[in-house]
Amino acid sequence: MGLDITGPTVVTAQVRKGPFPNFPFKRSNHPPMKKTHKTLTKMLRFGAPFTTVTSSASAISRTSPATNCQSSLTDSHLADFPRTSSFCFQQLLSYQSRLICCRNKATAEAAETMAASVASPPASKQALISLSDKKDLDLLATGLQELGYTIVSTGGTASALEKAGISVTKVEELTKFPEMLDGRVKTLHPNVHGGILARRDQNHHMEALEKHSISTFELVVVNLYPFYEKVTSTNEVLFDDGVENIDIGGPTMIRAAAKNHKDVLVVVDSQDYPLLLEFLKGNKDDQQFRRKLAWKAFQHVAAYDSAVSEWLWKQTEGDKFPPSFTVPLSLKSSLRYGENPHQKAAFYTDSSLSEFNGGGIATAIQHHGKEMSYNNYLDADAAWNCVCEFENPTCVVVKHTNPCGVASRDDLIEAYRLAVKADPVSAFGGIVAFNKEVDEALARDIREFRSPTDGETRMFYEIVVAPSYTEKGLEILRGKSKTLRILEAKKNSRGKLSLRQVGGGWLAQDSDDLTPEEIKFDLVSKKSPEEKELNDAKFAWLCVKHVKSNAIVIAKNNCMLGMGSGQPNRVDSLRIALRKAGDEVKGAALASDAFFPFAWKDAVEEACESGIGVIAEPGGSIRDADAIDCCNKYNVSLLFTGVRHFRH
């Protein structure tokens, strides 16, 4: 297309230095076409700025930074230019100095609009895509192409795009270098990282790109080698195989784009593809959106690196307590509030390798009921951890993280009723946990069971948790209450690291996994316990480890009769447990989470006087001899376990 210029126009070429002479355009004879094209093309090639000035008094001038020499160009000269191609004028108008040709002030605005329309279109925006997980790749790539993006990709991602019929530029076309070292080196190249890291607001950055013919990237979409999946697979993973699945180029690109997020969008999660495309369609400059994607990118790499670090530590030292480590947490849900309504709260799952398939409440499936609260998680965790300690069919009832009822029976319905009977007042509004499947009969009993205190009030619970439910059992439980939370959980694996926060730091320890079969119940008194009494002592000992210190549990016939918890002194905990056990205390077993500092006229003697048949405690007090003598006086069996179960 051509421009119709009718009035005499002066073209000012500003050149202080360089290859441009002060040439005259205005001559008596028209200059040859070839020479004119050659001269103007030379000016454009070397970046000579231009200013156009109309000859009228109302002329508008657009001037580049320097001014030196002038030459006039008449319309007769312009006529020599081929109007079909407008070779020089198209180049002049597309140049950054914007050659503006106008006859007078009235036509200036129209001329600028025309110049913009004639100018060459801007270079296509580039997106770099390199994915191990190619979920929704076609959706992303199609959307980007519709928005005018050129897609640059690597290896398998490029092949997948080509198979989908999507135009793609392979990264080696940019780097002029093939993939090497079995794919270890693909994108680690200035032509890639220069285009990602260059700041668009820094002239020397952009000049460097131009000097080295490097194009910018506006978008980087990357996810990483499946290292976590590889090292947690059921098949044994060789060390070299694990190392080969450590991504290097991917994290480098992600970090580069995230650092330069002001100019480069970075996406690491396929769930963000729709939001990304919507953002690009809006053609907005939302820095908050960019920052969120950058945060997510750095967090993604951090979690990835923590898995690599955890795995490598286990391959080298094997110690549970490395000099430093990272715990990768993922938000599972925002909670209504914390322990109290004025506290904000959220629930996170632990993505550490050690927690893979580790079971527990964090990965439980909720089949029914209101959303879980902060306190619900704490109580459900306490109930589930306790009930999973038992091999025989067992029910545990928990209130405020303390088991207030525990019973083991072949008939799980009987176990449930005995667990509630231990402390029906506390059980109301508590959490009920089972270590075996909940079937139709048990579900119906849970739904209809009345409180032992009056025989009329239907028992109410916040949560029921079990390893599984029959279809009918689940249906019946759902009918008990719209709010009843029904959880299905896997048993906690043993050997986990237990973490607890204190102000400014964390405490780490082995979980308290010891079972009665792993310790010795040493007889230190004259009277030996009968087999039934020994079993009751082991049952009570297993219960007391889940009660807050100072803790006392009284049990008989594999059933908790009473417990005292959280008291500053052991005597008060004993008295609470005795009061709850009532007349059934005769011949029962008593377990203490720690040794008795005193015996005479203290907890040991009170227990003996109440009719307790056997006492299990860790021992280790400087007054152990007093405890032994006291038990011998009252003909009570005394067992030392050598294992303390403090629980704070």
User: Where in the sequence numbering do the catalytic residues fall?
Assistant: 259, 400
Q: Is 93 exposed, middle or buried (0-12, 13-18, 19+ CB in 10 A)?
A: buried
Structural tokens at position 163: 């198979």
The number of helix segments (H) and strand segments (E) in the chain equals 23, 24
Q: Look at residues 161, 182, 185 and name the one whose alpha carbon lies nearest to residue 172.
A: 185
User: Which stretch of DSSP H or E encloses residue 433?
Assistant: strand 430-434
Write the DSSP string, 358-416.
Answer: --SGGGPEEEESSPP-HHHHHHHHHHHHHHTT-SSSEEEEEETTEEEEEEE-SSHHHHH
Measure the CA–CA gap between 361 and 375, rounded to whole angstroms.
Answer: 13
CB atoms near residue 78 (< 10 Å): 22
Q: What is the largest CA-CA distance in the chain?
A: 137
| CA atoms of 259 and 79, how far apart (whole Å) | 53
User: H helices within 482-525, ranges in order?
Assistant: none
Give yes or no for a contact between 431 and 380, defined as CB atoms under 8 angstroms apart. Answer: yes
Coil, strand or helix at 531: helix
Encode 605-618: b = buried (16+ Cβ within 10 Å), e = exposed. Answer: bebbebbbbbbbbb
Pairing, β 505-510 against β 497-502: antiparallel
Place of tokens 């632990």: 350
Q: Which residues contact 633 (CB under 8 A, 6 or more apart)?
A: 608
Residue 231's nearest CA partner among 353, 319, 355, 358 is 353
SS3 464: strand
CB 624 within 8 A of CB 594: no
Let me know: does 209 contact 215? Beta carbons within 8 Å. Answer: yes
What's the gap between Cα 132 and its chain centre?
18
- E strands, 492-551, are 497-502, 505-510, 522-523
Counting Cα atoms < 13 Å in the Cβ hemisphere of 274 gives: 1
Whole-angstrom distance, CA of residue 589 vs CA of residue 532: 10
Locate 571 and state its tokens.
């005597």
